[in-house]
Amino acid sequence: MDKETVISVKDLTKKFGNFTAVDHITLQVRRGEIFGFLGANGAGKTTAMRMLCGLSLPTSGTGTVAGYDILRQAEEIKRHIGYMSQKFSLYENLTVWENLNLFATIYGMSAKRIKEKTDAVFRALGMENMRNVLVKEIPLGWKQKLAFTAATLHSPDVVFLDEPTGGVDPSTRRKFWEMIYRASSEGMTVFVTTHYLDEAEYCSRISIMVDGRITALDSPAGLKRQYHAGTMDEVFRIVAKDAKREN
C-alpha cells in the first residue's frame, strides 16, 4: 500500500445471520479523492461504510483506514475520520455552537482553535446569527450543513458522508457539493454515498454496489466508456439490472 492510499480493504464481508449484507468487497481510495459509493437501497452501502468507520465489526476480510487496521484499531481510526450519518444525529436540544464545541472537544481540539474554526465556518456559511439557536429550530438544509461541519471541523483525513443530500432541494444540494469540493481541496478524502446520479458525475471515482458486491469501479468517464453509455444514469441501470434484493 503506497502512502497515498487512505482506504484499502480486501474481501470485507458482513453477515447478519444467513444474510450477507456486504459480500467480499475490495477497494482502494487515494488521498484527496472524492469517492462515490453508489448502489440501490439495500445494496449494503451503509453497512460497508459503518465497517470502515469502526461502527460495525466485519465478519471477515481485512483493511486499513487512514493507516490503521479496521479490525484492531477502530478507536485510532475514529481520531482520523469524520462521519455524517444518513439520519440527522446532532443533539436537537443543544445550540449550534454547543454541538460543534462538543464534537470538536471530543476530537481533542483546543478551545482557542475551536473558536477560530467555528468563527470562520459561521462566516463562510453566513450562520453567525444561528450560533445560539437550538438545532431543532433550524431548517433542514442548514442542519445538513451543520452536520457536515461537525464531521469536518477537526480536519480529518477522511470524511464519510452517508446520503448527505437526501431530501433537500437542488440549489441546497449544489451548495452542499461546493462544501465537499472545498473540503477535498484542503486535502480531505471524501467517501460519499448517494442516490443522485448527477452527483456521481462530481466524483473522482465511483463504485457501484449490487446485492452486497462491488460490480463496477472506475472514474465516471471510464465507466461510461466501459458500458457504452452516455450518462451515469444509463451506466447505473445496466449495472444494477440484475439486482435481486428489494429496492
Partner 1 sequence: MNANTLKILLRKEVSLMKRNPIIPRLIVAMPILVMLIIPLVATLDVKNVEVVVVDNDRTELSRRMVADMDASEYLSVTGCYFSYDEAFRQVESGKADAIVTIPKDYLRDLTNGKRPELDLKANGVNATKGTLGAQYATMSAAHTLVRWQMEQGITIPVQEAAVVNLYNPTLNFRNYMIPALMVVLLIIICGFLPTLNLVSEKETGTIEAMNVTPVGRLEFVLSKLIPYWIVGILVVTVGMLIGWLVYGLVPEGNVVNIYLAAVLFSFVMSGLGVFIANRSATILQSIFMMFAFIVVFQLMGGLFTPIASMPRWAQCITYAIPPRYFIEIMRSVYLKGGTVADLWMQYAALSGFALLFCLIAAVTYRKRA
Q: What angle do CA 222, 224, 226 make, to 5 degrees?
A: 65
Residue 215: exposure state from Cβ atoms within 10 A (0-12, 13-18, ≥19): middle
CB of 128 to partner 1, least distance (A): 21
Of positions 4, 11, 60, 91, contacts partner 1 by CB under 8 A: 91
Q: 202 near 60, Cβ under 8 Å?
A: no
Of positions 4, 10, 69, 106, contacts partner 1 by CB under 8 A: 106
Query: 89: which residues sit within 8 A by CB, 6+ positions away?
Result: 147
Q: Which is nearer to partner 1, 108 or 126 (CB)?
A: 108
Of positions 12, 81, 214, 232, contacts partner 1 by CB under 8 A: 81
Residues 107-166 that bind partner 1 (CB under 8 A): 107-108, 134, 150
Cα–Cα distance for residue pair 66/57, rounded to 1 Å: 17
Contact between 238 and partner 1 (CB under 8 A)?
Answer: no
Of positions 85, 149, 152, 194, contacts partner 1 by CB under 8 A: 85
Contact between 93 and partner 1 (CB under 8 A)?
Answer: yes
CB of 108 to partner 1, least distance (A): 8
Contact between 193 and partner 1 (CB under 8 A)?
Answer: no
Q: Which is nearer to partner 1, 159 or 203 (CB)?
A: 159
Q: Which residue has the cell 475514529?
A: 78
Dihedral class, residue 150 (left if φ above 0, else alpha if ψ from -120 to 50, else beta): alpha
CB of 155 to partner 1, least distance (A): 14
Q: 219 near 204, Cβ under 8 Å?
A: yes
Contact between 218 and partner 1 (CB under 8 A)?
Answer: no
Question: Are β-strands 158-162 and 81-84 bridged in parallel, bridged antiparallel, or unpaired?
Answer: parallel
Contact between 57 and partner 1 (CB under 8 A)?
Answer: yes
Q: Which residue has the cell 459480500?
A: 23
Of positions 55, 133, 138, 168, contacts partner 1 by CB under 8 A: 55
Dihedral class, residue 54 (left if φ above 0, else alpha if ψ from -120 to 50, else beta): left
Kindly determine how many residues on this chain lie close enough to bind partner 1 according to the rule CB under 8 A: 31
The footprint of partner 1 (CB under 8 A) covers 50, 53-57, 74-75, 78-79, 81, 83, 85, 87-94, 98, 101-103, 105-108, 134, 150
